[in-house]
Amino acid sequence: MKNTSALSLILLFCGSAAHAADVIFLGDNIVTMDAAMRDREPTAVAIEGERIVWVGARDEHTSHIKDHTEVVELGERALLPGFIDAHGHFTFYAATVDLANVASPPVGPATDMASLRKTLLQHIDSRGIDDGKWVVGFGYDDSLLAENRHPTREDLDAVSTTHPIVLMHVSGHLATANSRALELSGIAATEADPPGGHIRRDANGQPNGVLEESATYPFRRFMFESDDAAGAFQRVQDVYAAYGVTTVQDGFTSPAGLAGLKQAAAAGALKVDVVTYPGADPANPQPRASLGLGGYDKRLKVAGVKLMLDGSPQGKTAFLSKPYHVPPHGKDDSYAGYPAQPLETVENMVRHFLSEGVPMIAHANGDAAGDMLIGSVRKALAEASPVPDHRTVMIHAQTMREDQVREMAELGMIPSYFSAHTFYWGDWHRDSVLGPERGRNISPAAWSLAYGGKFTVHNDSPVVPADMIRLLWATTNRKTRSGKTLGHGQRIGTYAALRAMTIDAAYQSFDEDIKGSISAGKQADLVLLDRNPLLTPRANLLDVKVQRTYSRGKLIYGE
């Protein structure tokens, strides 16, 4: 791999042949995220077409001006590399755009069962959904509803007994359905739990409507049926662009989702780069040749595979080494969640993909699931010769212990922390899910810094909005909804958090040579902020606003 940081230094300090630029940025608040320039940040950046062609001092910029060059004086504004979505679900996000929004504030209107039912009735009326047609909602959160419980079959039957209704939990790992939906899905009172899932039941042994993990699968196809998939793709790209995101991830891409993305790419309809990870087949792990791995083709890249090891901590299905602080409905005090796959299956998948040179991202929220992944990687690397640059990513890594974080750094693994959780569910984790001691160390980015390991942070959209400024604030402040600090010792500085959203996020997907920093030769993926976050007190980072977003040199947000 070429060393773009070294190239940038040569261009910055030794001069280069003048490039006629399309846009030149001038100012004292250019944050390159290029480690080689941190002690001497440039005051001018020139872009031409899709590339950054020059980085230097403002008194040298005139040689790069041509007739149509736009010169942007930054003033107090800041120029940074475009933000990179280190983990999310682009196609799932698009699928939720037109669903009933049953999330709680600040994302949606549902504060209790009454407001949730009202939202569904308004959705049915406003969309003109004919009687008997499916009604699908996304984002309900039992931890934020006044009743502190999941909507049940009876709650949704009060909305309609003729419409089949299914609501997906905000985590994406649980769902709840009314009687008509349960009937149409074939879920019966005598049906056993599916492998890797659970059907919650009432006192009479009847399904109460709440479904966990693989038990939700019969309903998932309704999440992806759309009369305007192309329009939904465009609307979601606009959302990402408004948050300063220039590269998005589609984790666990379905065959239909990949086909839709390829169609959009072929039509030139992608205005951000999309990195996909098709779901790994546990029974028959795919050979590398069948996956279509490679670089970007019309902005679309198949980067590796996604493994699923467990569930959700806020939904209390994540696989922990010690019991939940408060067990969920129907479970005793020893309940610690459960794995999505047996250990032997995980070991086989990791061994196969590592030996085939297929990058892996693996969903592991609970520390017991983390043990499964770390142990499988350790075992596979011991058998490998030579040891590959595998960069295996542990997605979410929320409850990792300090010994696990240290070993991940030693093994070249990358935790991608869902650090937005500290705001959205920090109080819930401390008081109900994990208790005070474990709760204060969720998303332990400070441990990763201490052990020298690379890490990234993410929003897991559509679980929470793709708001990168809120993610930056959450990672550096760790304030909960109640205003309390969750784990003061796990706070990190603004520069380290920005690295996790830019250059280290590019490294995670083997893209560090082409994006993630403002360096000559790289893609012109840039975000213009109203102020410099490095000069903003961490407590005030939520006040930072995105003004413009450029993807491959093209303005995709702002004026």
Fold of 1-81+516-559: Urease, subunit C; domain 1 (2.30.40)
Domain with CATH 3.10.310.70 in the chain: 99-223
Q: State whether residue 227 is helix, strand or coil.
A: coil
- Interhelix angle 402-411/367-383, nearest 10 degrees: 30
Question: In this predicted model, what pLDDT tens digit does every residue of 37-56 receive, in sequence order?
Answer: 988 899 999 999 999 999 99
Question: Which region holds residue 397: left if phi is over 0, alpha if psi is between -120 and 50, else beta?
Answer: left
And the tokens for 270?
């992608």
Question: So what's the pLDDT on residue 223?
Answer: 64
Question: So what's the pLDDT on residue 196?
Answer: 86
And the tokens for 292?
């279509």
CA distance 214 to 340: 8
Question: In this predicted model, what pLDDT tens digit does every residue of 337-357 receive, in sequence order?
Answer: 999 999 999 999 999 999 999
Question: So what's the pLDDT on residue 14?
Answer: 36
Peptide bond into 151 cis (omega under 30): no
Q: Are 319 and 369 in contact (CB under 8 A)?
A: yes
Domain with CATH 3.20.20.140 in the chain: 243-513
CA distance 373 to 432: 26
Question: Which region holds residue 186: left if phi is over 0, alpha if psi is between -120 and 50, else beta?
Answer: left
Question: So what's the pLDDT on residue 12?
Answer: 42
Cα 113 to Cα 28, 103, 144, 328, 462: the distances in Å are 51, 12, 11, 19, 22
Each of the 559 residues of the chain gets a pLDDT tens digit; together they read 334 444 444 344 334 456 789 999 999 999 999 999 988 899 999 999 999 999 999 999 988 998 899 999 999 999 999 999 999 999 989 988 888 999 999 889 999 999 999 999 999 999 999 999 999 999 999 989 999 999 999 999 999 999 999 999 988 889 999 999 999 888 866 578 888 889 999 888 899 999 998 899 888 776 666 667 778 899 999 999 999 999 999 999 999 899 999 999 999 999 999 999 999 999 999 999 999 999 999 999 999 999 999 999 998 999 999 999 999 988 999 999 999 999 999 999 999 999 999 999 999 999 999 999 999 999 999 999 999 999 999 999 999 999 999 999 999 999 999 999 999 999 999 999 999 999 999 999 999 999 999 999 999 999 999 999 999 999 999 999 999 999 999 999 999 999 999 999 999 999 999 999 999 999 999 999 999 999 999 999 999 999 999 999 999 999 8
Nearest CA to 393 out of 441, 346, 468, 454 is that of 454
List the beta bridge partners of residue 136: 166
Question: So what's the pLDDT on residue 67?
Answer: 86
**Class at the top of the CATH hierarchy for domain 243-513:** alpha beta
The CA angle 454-457-463, to the nearest 5 degrees, is 150
CA distance 90 to 94: 6
Cα 463 to Cα 21, 202, 216, 251, 403: the distances in Å are 40, 28, 16, 13, 28
Question: So what's the pLDDT on residue 147?
Answer: 95
pTM comes to 0.89
Pairing between strand 44-48 and 23-26?
A: antiparallel
DSSP code of 65?
A: -
CA distance 554 to 551: 5
Question: So what's the pLDDT on residue 219?
Answer: 83
* CATH architecture observed for domain 99-223: Roll (3.10)
- Interhelix angle 255-266/229-242, nearest 10 degrees: 80
Question: So what's the pLDDT on residue 18?
Answer: 67
List the beta bridge partners of residue 362: 307, 394
CA dihedral for 275, 278, 282, 286, sign (positive or negative): negative
CA dihedral for 55, 57, 60, 61, sign (positive or negative): positive
Domain with CATH 2.30.40.10 in the chain: 1-81+516-559
